[in-house]
Structure 1
């Protein structure tokens, strides 16, 4: 509230009347009495002046504290006043701008028509708002968001302009646009931008021209990162990207994944094989990173358009087919696409289309659940959700076939989200029926990288009224070490704080990094079935199993052994302190209804299930 700044009118009028009557009053005493209202009226006027002065000081302080620049001009557009933010933004002190025309700030970017519309809006509507580019005293141009108002008082016209410097906002917009088209680490075009460039290059091919493409994978990049550290690995990728850019020479180089780069060129009769040899020769030259000399091994898949296809999607799929063929043949080799290279290419493409259709339809995809048992008693408290695909023509399709297919054809994110929703929905059904089984769900790298995973999961749990502690999350070692997932430790800690348990799946089969494991908020390790299969007879597997069990115990984690199929394996694991087992010895994966039928109304934590 502003301090009261109004006259005490009866008191003022009384003082005026007394002052007028004083000369006519007889006697000193009456005159002195008449002086009292005069003095009181004068005091009231003084109070009013002080409060008006206070109001002015408060307004000036508020104006100068504002982060927005303020400029007031007259009808001739001469500056009357500015605030401190004006000087801070433009570089002009008040004495340098007052009395001058604000056109002093003009950047020259706007034409006469722009300013005509500006003044017309003020004259007609009394208000204008929009983006303006001006020039600071130092000479650099900057964008501002300007709000201007026209005021008319006592026959005089004034203009009040309030503006904010939006340079940072514009820079963020440009960064976001650039990030959408560039790889943030190397600055090379990303997959989206490369796709646009490929469409452009294919569409502009003239008679006799071809487009050569190569997809390059740095073999064993994760082990290099383990040796150099994350920052060293980033420096390596930047050096590699710089070398690849130098090779492009009028072509295009880009990065589409953690260890995958693309280079393409338009050529008129150039030899494709010689080009690939030049790429390999140059890109495998030693690189020095952190005083270490590195010799890279590269797998290269290549193709040529329009010989190998004109459609950009087809060309990219064939490029990927060539790369995967190179990897299958032992890595560190080159493969050019040809139909005989992957005789099942058309079959695979058709199967990928069928998988897309399965995601849209109902009934083909289904979750089966395999129980996880307490090793010593057989009691069940949780299940793992496993995806199954019943193809309408081919019958059951193995996850070993359709999961890599989903990864290659960009379906992994949709597939992972489908599994997550189905598992949460099933959990809601089980809880309504009184069953308390924690469902473990596998989380892919793409879900963490592209899918706004934490927010999506929280929304899903809220939609079905399912508590977080009833959905466990399994991540493989490769996901935990994928740099694209960001600060994985912080993200897992957030999920864990909400109530989710975290497990490392297939432990021991990937690029194990004990330093990562030590720092990550993980509840359980799932020892891969590869180490269980030969127990207890195979000495090396037994030694690895005992070591992992000891490590898990030392880190305060529980251990789940996968693929337990025999009584001997179970007894060995129990004798060495393994808490939980999963495998055919107790139960095979089954549809939700079959799992509940086996539970047969018992509380999950009180049931010992018979062997499958």
Structure 2
């Protein structure tokens, strides 16, 4: 057993020994009855012996005390070393803060937490985040107010040497002085930035887990459900109490076979994840589609611990996909297959034809003049008519025939198999006859016709060829006057190729100034005098020579080039008229055709105004001819544009009158000066009674509306005499002069000028 020596115990031991020595030695001397001299001598010896013995006793006790102190220091140093190693192993720094003088101590390890070599209380405070400074001061004040020992805990953001803020968490204790007043705080600290970030991410993940619109299912390695989120319950109808601890097979729909699940588990085992569409069953029993992703979770040792499945209900997506597929393949108005599905059906028919060595046919039906119905009666009436036509066509068809709506007013039919051989024309005639009965739509009774093109394909045909040739046949039917059937022949392809080549060459001609303007004289039927000229475009083809308008104008109208050509002719004719005027060759009027493409351009009147100003022409000498059909494309807009043109002072005339479908109510509101009787009503004069009646009617109508009437296409004197007798004002045609180049027409003007002088 080791004795523990302290200053108090050493002092008490010395006091007891000294007192015992004095009392015992004095009693012993008194009992010897010695003389005074001997007693004095013994007293001195006794004192020396006391000093010797007390010195020995004191030395022994001090030696024992020092040995004990050395043992304590060794133990303390060991404890300190172990504490230091423990703090370093735990990456703790230690610190102290004196509450009185606000001095602080920070260990080297603490300084390393912030990337610095040393810290003081002031430099430490400078590094604390401004938002955390009030909390630090509050914590310090509360610690100073406690009289008893308290535990201290805080976490502040401190600026690291790299400029970033780190979360430093401290644990400490409040120490008191001898008067039990709070004196200092001591403790340890560590960098918990990563832990804080991890906790923040975990809180975010938990929030996402709870709030996500996808259902989440977690199982352990034994495939027992251990966790679900609220969306799982919303989608499946099962709450947590009904599924926790159970297998996910409670959700199986029975729709997938064993091979499906085998492939799923194979992906999970080999790749660690699987995703795809899967059908499951709700609590209500409803089977529905999910898009599901499953991932396997392993611990740090690579052992499988959990499976996490995330899924979304794609029922609406499935329904939308079905609707989109329907919209992609069917016409929403008539519910017939659309062009895409029709092409697929034709391709299917071609595949069968190739396999079975037999053909079929494709018919394309176009409603004649449907645009006029849309514009005249409105799109609602047009839509109702299309639905009625579709129903009537369906009533004429046998099973196995596909009817589709290919476009606005176009339908397609495909017949396949030997049972339809040679029946395509019969079916086309049947469809046309079905249109003979008028359509009763609300308060309208409509009579319509159609044009049909047919291509009979064989086992070697391809889809592009079939559709191209059927359209060529349709174009031929329209060229033949509409309301008829045309069957494709090789000549139609050649014609289509020629049209394509001509359209390409026409674009080149416009860019390379191959177009020229010829001028046809206009004469008064009453006086026979020249009253003007009509500007007519010609194409000076480098290989085919001079081409008449009938060769290329239809191509220009199909390709949309007609507006550009008309604008060029208008500009050339106006410049030519100004040039002749400057040369003293006066021409009373220049007539120029304006197509619908040019008429409906909003900038037309401003461009004509600029042209008149630049050429300094009298607007009354310029006459713009607009066809009846062009005006009826959009009567209201045409009327607006014609009034703007008339306000410029130019004259306006209706060309090809009698061939369109104009309304007299519209006609009387148009600011038109002249009607042009179409050549188709002049050719039969004076013998054809119908032409006679039409000519008289047009002349009478024009005069009654305050307009002049010009007849075109006059080739014989008897035609001119008949029209003159009917009161027709003016005429043009080969009888009076053919269209001629500008120099030839200028020569004619010069001759007239000399004759007049």
Band of TM-score, shorter chain: 0.5 to 0.7
For residues 80-123 of structure 1, the C-alpha deviation after alignment (integer angstroms, 9 at most, x for no partner) is xxxxxxxxxxxxxxxxxxxxxxxxxxxxxxxxxxxxxxxxxxxx
Moved more, 465-474 or 580-589: 465-474
Q: Aligned to 1:386, what secondary structure does the other structure show?
A: strand
Q: TM-score, normalised by structure 2?
A: 0.44
For residues 372-419 of structure 1, the C-alpha deviation after alignment (integer angstroms, 9 at most, x for no partner) is 122222222321011222322223333222222222344323332332
Distance change (3 Å), C-alpha of 1:379 and 1:391? same
8 Å contact from structure 1 (residues 299, 323) kept in 2 = yes
Distance change (3 Å), C-alpha of 1:383 and 1:329? closer
Query: Which residue number corresponds to residue 164 of structure 1?
Result: none
1:496: Cα distance to partner? 0.9
Query: Which residue number corresponds to residue 532 of structure 1?
Result: 682
Distance change (3 Å), C-alpha of 1:331 and 1:532? closer
Q: How does 1:44-83 map to 2 (within 5 A)?
A: none
1:367: Cα distance to partner? 0.9
Q: How does 1:528-607 map to 2 (within 5 A)?
A: 528-600=678-750
Query: Which residue number corresponds to residue 61 of structure 1?
Result: none
Query: Which residue number corresponds to residue 427 of structure 1?
Result: 577
Choose the corresponding residue for 1:367, options 507, 517, 527: 517
Distance change (3 Å), C-alpha of 1:410 and 1:303? farther
Query: Which residue number corresponds to residue 384 of structure 2?
Result: 239
1:585: Cα distance to partner? 2.6
CA distance in 1, matches of 2:686, 2:563: 39
Query: Which residue number corresponds to residue 515 of structure 1?
Result: 665
Q: Aligned to 1:300, what secondary structure does the other structure show?
A: strand
Q: How does 1:189-588 map to 2 (within 5 A)?
A: 216-221=365-370, 225=373, 230-231=376-377, 234-241=379-386, 253-255=406-408, 260-261=409-410, 287-294=439-446, 296-301=448-453, 320-328=471-479, 331-333=482-484, 335=486, 337=488, 339-363=490-514, 365-437=515-587, 438-449=589-600, 452-483=603-634, 486-511=636-661, 513-588=663-738
CA distance in 1, matches of 2:486, 2:686: 42
8 Å contact from structure 2 (residues 600, 637) kept in 1 = no
CA distance in 1, matches of 2:684, 2:484: 34
Query: Which residue number corresponds to residue 173 of structure 2?
Result: none
For residues 407-457 of structure 1, the C-alpha deviation after alignment (integer angstroms, 9 at most, x for no partner) is 234432333233223222323322332444321111112223467533443
CA distance in 1, matches of 2:752, 2:552: 36
Q: Aligned to 1:344, what secondary structure does the other structure show?
A: helix
For residues 14-53 of structure 1, the C-alpha deviation after alignment (integer angstroms, 9 at most, x for no partner) is xxxxxxxxxxxxxxxxxxxxxxxxxxxxxxxxxxxxxxxx
Distance change (3 Å), C-alpha of 1:308 and 1:399? farther
8 Å contact from structure 2 (residues 403, 412) kept in 1 = no
CA distance in 1, matches of 2:736, 2:543: 32
1:537: Cα distance to partner? 4.2
Query: Which residue number corresponds to residue 129 of structure 1?
Result: none
Q: Aligned to 2:520, what secondary structure does the other structure show?
A: strand
Query: Which residue number corresponds to residue 109 of structure 2?
Result: none
Distance change (3 Å), C-alpha of 1:552 and 1:293? closer
8 Å contact from structure 2 (residues 524, 731) kept in 1 = yes
1:296: Cα distance to partner? 3.9
Which of structures 1 and 2 has the larger relative contact order (alpha carbons within 8 angstroms, sep 6+)? 1
Moved more, 524-533 or 460-469: 460-469
Distance change (3 Å), C-alpha of 1:309 and 1:590? farther
Gaps of at least 5 residues in structure 2 are 1-330, 354-360, 395-401
Moved more, 378-387 or 559-568: 559-568
Q: How does 1:112-131 map to 2 (within 5 A)?
A: none
CA distance in 1, matches of 2:433, 2:528: 59
Q: How does 1:111-190 map to 2 (within 5 A)?
A: none
1:474: Cα distance to partner? 0.9
8 Å contact from structure 1 (residues 219, 297) kept in 2 = yes
8 Å contact from structure 2 (residues 533, 591) kept in 1 = yes
Distance change (3 Å), C-alpha of 1:547 and 1:361? same
Distance change (3 Å), C-alpha of 1:417 and 1:318? farther
Distance change (3 Å), C-alpha of 1:458 and 1:329? same
Distance change (3 Å), C-alpha of 1:570 and 1:263? closer
8 Å contact from structure 1 (residues 381, 436) kept in 2 = no
Query: Which residue number corresponds to residue 112 of structure 2?
Result: none
CA distance in 2, matches of 1:462, 1:319: 51
CA distance in 2, matches of 1:357, 1:499: 35
CA distance in 2, matches of 1:346, 1:286: 38
CA distance in 1, matches of 2:501, 2:567: 22
Q: TM-score, normalised by structure 1?
A: 0.54
Gaps of at least 5 residues in structure 1 are 1-185, 189-193
Larger radius of gyration: 2
CA distance in 1, matches of 2:423, 2:601: 38
